A and B are shown apart, each in its own frame.
Chain A
């Protein structure tokens, strides 16, 4: 079917009054959690999973998409007005954004962030419409061995590329895969890791695990080292931009989009790397490089566009391959499975209504976000006055309620507590949470593909590299794994380290690197 006809049909589905309402609820909730540091869209979607069982899948996903985009928007407000990034993807925005706000240009910073996000989100959504069907067409031709290889690549990439320590990344991945193994073996029916507990035979509910890791673990962690501070929000009127600001913003918006979308679509791309790249690029290309570090509008426009474009990019592998590349996409994928919908290349064929309504709702959500964010930015900043203990108590309450309501079993509460403690311990010892969640959600599906491949080749391991695509992917995996070694060899072969004067990091960039490593 023609892509544009499908999209129009999607608009028809997404623009019903009911779905518009869910889109609005989603973007408002998303912006709120984006504004509040420590709460993210992944946690919010996880908390809402049990609530949305009563909804049509289409409505639920429209709401989730709103939360996802809203979270990307909201983060910038806190970065600019408080110098505390609301989301990890807004860390870069804080560098120039807060300087602008301090020099009285908060309105312009907020405006370029909001309009840039809108532009990037819309272009990103159009690219999604164009790319996803192509990827699907390619993916349908793939057999189980290639699929298995691609999923392994996603796991390895998320684990090895992101985060400061590979050992920690792989430990977290191992934990996730182990948690995903609990329950009955789908082929032979044997019990695995159930410890004789009949309630574990069906496996751990993904919702309970997601709520435990994201909500309980995070809330406990933040509560455990609640630093007492009282900062001031920089007062700001209605966001607006002058002619010069438009002139200086539109190129960074487009360049940010160009960085963000492909990185979002790659496994392990995420939103952090493209925002950083965009910042560095704008700094190089700027006609006024001396303004960088003192509040250059390009340094806000580029990264904010990049993080929204990456949000759209993330949906390409999620919808067309069933591959989550960040935490929010992982939880959304878990939601799909909960609804009994099989993620993967056939999603576009089997659930066209859901997919196209979701994509159409991205355009609607983006427009709603622009409408509610431009006039309401100062109101959003008021959310920061909520005492944090109230917030975290509320999160724990809803987490417990949600976990219990999934199966109405008190056993799930014990699971929630144990895994919540695990989530806390992981943050305490610096283990990244993302590999765990991706491992948990992809683990069972990887196993399925592995079993299928082995069945096809009647148990011969060589069946795993029987397809050219699979071989190519294994080469990439090998490169990723060997990269630290290769990098060391390359560096050694170059006797003199290159230190060009313009490559020395500025104070702001150094701070950024420190923050990322923390």
Chain B
């Protein structure tokens, strides 16, 4: 059994990792970090730099959590990648960072979190970034 966390290099992503670490410790399971991009735009700010990912992995090592990372340009939506990883790694929990959204914003923008929430077969923990 594992805990799968969808990581994005922003405050929501950091918060998700923090909570995922807590959950993985409590459940004594492995952590799987997922950060993918569809790769069809020239620039994707939600795809982590190698050094950003390395920093997160260092943090996980320091916290003493066993982990693996899935960091790739998959050509599919990140939501699908998270669900697939959850499936193959036998996840018991998926942790996601979510953003505050206005109703109009929700209408226009597709949401990774929404899709995972709707389609996941295991419990999903939605985490907001702490308010500054």
Which residues of A approach B to under 8 Å, CB–CB?
A: 36-37, 82, 84, 226, 228-233, 381, 384-389
Contacts and interface: CB of A to CB of B under 8 A. Distances in A.
Given A230-B37, A230-B47, A388 B75 contact: no
> B37, B40, B43, B73 — which one has the most chain A CB atoms within 10 A of its CB?
B43
Interface in B16-61: 37-45, 47, 49
Contact of B45 (A82, A385, A389): A385
A289 to B, nearest CB: 31
Nearest to A391: B41
Nearest to A227: B39
Interface in B79-103: none
A37 B49 CA distance: 22
Contact of A228 (B38, B43, B45, B49): B38
> A229, A231, A381 — which one has the most chain B CB atoms within 10 A of its CB?
A229
6 contacts: A228-B73, A231-B43, A384-B42, A384-B43, A387-B40, A389-B40
Contacts of B38: 228, 387
Contacts of A233: 43, 45
A228 B39 CA distance: 5
Contacts of A381: 43
Interface residues of B, number: 13
A230 B41 contact: yes
A87 to B, nearest CB: 14
Contacts of B44: 230-231, 385
B88 to A, nearest CB: 21
A228 B40 contact: yes
B70 to A, nearest CB: 15
Contacts of B49: 232
> B42, B43, B49 — which one has the most chain A CB atoms within 10 A of its CB?
B42
B10 to A, nearest CB: 13
Given A230-B41, A233-B45, A385-B45, 20 more contacts: A36-B42, A37-B42, A82-B43, A84-B42, A226-B40, A228-B38, A228-B73, A229-B39, A229-B73, A230-B37, A230-B39, A230-B73, A231-B44, A384-B43, A385-B42, A385-B44, A386-B41, A387-B40, A387-B41, A388-B40
Contacts of B45: 232-233, 385
Nearest to A35: B42
Q: Is the interface of A mostly helix, strand, loop or mixed?
A: loop
A384 B40 CA distance: 10
Closest CB pairs A-B (n = 7): A228-B39, A230-B44, A384-B43, A230-B47, A230-B37, A387-B40, A384-B42
Nearest to A36: B42
Contacts of A226: 40
Interface of B: 37-45, 47, 49, 73, 75
B40 A232 contact: no
Contacts of A84: 42
B38 to A, nearest CB: 7
A35 B35 CA distance: 27
Contacts of A387: 38, 40-41
B50 to A, nearest CB: 11
Contact of A388 (B41, B47, B73): B41
Nearest to A388: B40
A84 B42 CA distance: 9
A242 B48 CA distance: 33
A230 B41 CA distance: 7
Contacts of B37: 230
A82 B43 CA distance: 9
A228 B77 CA distance: 13
A223 to B, nearest CB: 10
Contacts of A82: 42-43
A230 B45 CA distance: 8
> A37, A82, A230, A388 — which one has the most chain B CB atoms within 10 A of its CB?
A230
Contacts of B42: 36-37, 82, 84, 229, 231, 384-385, 388
A377 B41 CA distance: 19
B65 to A, nearest CB: 27
A235 to B, nearest CB: 9
Contacts of A386: 41
A385 B40 contact: no
Contacts of A36: 42
> A232, A381, A388 — which one has the most chain B CB atoms within 10 A of its CB?
A232
B43 to A, nearest CB: 4
A322 B103 CA distance: 55
A84 B41 CA distance: 13
A104 B1 CA distance: 44
A228 B74 CA distance: 8
Nearest to B47: A230
A385 B49 CA distance: 16
A230 B72 CA distance: 10
Nearest to B52: A232
A84 B45 CA distance: 16
A229 B73 CA distance: 7
Contacts of A231: 42-44
Nearest to B43: A384
A264 B40 CA distance: 35
Nearest to B46: A230
B80 to A, nearest CB: 15
B7 to A, nearest CB: 14
Contacts of B47: 230, 232
A389 B40 CA distance: 7
A230 B47 CA distance: 7
A158 to B, nearest CB: 30
